[in-house]
């Protein structure tokens, strides 16, 4: 596979439940969504890899004040996959008003959903999201 991952390739993957990331040859960290350099060390020696479709919630927050066009409250989580990639998205099958510390460590599956772009976006996109198991 190529060593470069474009935003379009990343989006096409999300639309088909394929989760692409970049694995750094120099430090072993993952970068996703795609960037030109490793987000940990700045290296450009990156391989495109497919990420697992599940992981564990490591931290989260409940968004109660959001940008125009969004519909708060909603839960945003950081999830660590088995390979060590960290990904961010919304937890979609929980009442945000019921979210508590028991979410930390819960297993989730990765998926995506189409979201309406706001006035600052380049149009509608797919957004990574998580489902509690
Ligand atoms: Zn690196």
Distance CA 18, CA 97 (A): 30
Q: How far is the CA of 40 from the centre of ligand 1 (A)?
A: 5
SS3 27: coil
Listed residues 51, 69, 90: the one ending a domain = 51
**What pLDDT sits at residue 64?**
96
Reported as a pLDDT band with limits 50, 70 and 90, residue 91 is: very high
Instruction: Report, in angstroms and rounded to the nearest whole number, the Rg of the chain calculated over CA atoms.
Output: 15
Instruction: Output the six-digit token pair for 82.
Output: 């088995």
Candidates 48, 16, 52; CA nearest to 33 is 48
Q: Are residues 107 and 128 in the same domain?
A: yes
Do 26 and 61 fall within a single domain? no
Residue of 56, 60, 71 whose CA lies nearest to 98 = 60
Task: For residues 43 and 58, state if they share a domain.
Answer: no
Q: Are residues 22 and 59 in the same domain?
A: no
Q: Are residue 13 and residue 61 in the same domain, yes or no?
A: no
**Last residue within a domain, chosen from 10, 34, 51:** 51
Give the chain's domain count: 2
Same domain for 69 and 119: yes
53 Cα: distance to centroid of ligand 1 (angstroms): 23
Write out the residue range of the structural domain in which residue 17 sits.
Answer: 1-51
Give percent of the chain with pLDDT exceeding 90.
75
Q: What is the mean pLDDT of the chain?
A: 92
Rounded Cα distance between 116 and 66, Å, is: 14
CA of 65 to the centre of ligand 1 (A): 34
Residues 76 and 120 in one domain: yes
pLDDT digit string, tens, across residues 8-42: 899 999 999 999 999 999 999 999 988 999 999 99
Same domain, 43 and 86: no
Report the candidate in 111, 116, 108, 47 with the shortest Cα–Cα distance to residue 81.
108
Tell me the whole-structure pTM to 2 decimals: 0.88
Interval 39-58: pLDDT, tens = 999 999 999 999 999 999 99
- Which residues lie at CB < 5 A from ion ligand 1? 24, 26-27, 29, 38, 40-41, 43
Ligand 1 centroid to residue 42 C-alpha, Å: 6
Cβ pair 10, 35 in contact under 8 A: no
Distance from Cα 81 to the centre of ligand 1, integer Å: 17
CA 110 to ligand 1 center in whole angstroms: 24
């Amino acid at each position: 596979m190529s060593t470069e991952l474009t935003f379009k390739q990343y989006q096409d993957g999300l639309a088909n439940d394929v989760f692409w990331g970049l694995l750094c040859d120099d430090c072993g960290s993952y970068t996703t969504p795609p960037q030109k350099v490793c987000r940990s060390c700045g290296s450009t020696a990156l391989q495109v890899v497919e990420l697992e479709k599940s992981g564990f919630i490591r931290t989260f927050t409940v968004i109660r004040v959001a940008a125009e066009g969004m519909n708060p409250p909603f839960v945003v989580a950081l999830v660590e996959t088995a390979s060590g990639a960290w990904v961010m998205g919304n937890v979609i099958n929980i009442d945000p008003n019921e979210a508590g510390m028991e979410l930390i460590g819960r297993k989730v599956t990765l998926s995506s959903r189409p979201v309406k772009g706001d006035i600052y976006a380049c149009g509608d996109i797919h957004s990574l999201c998580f489902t509690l198991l």
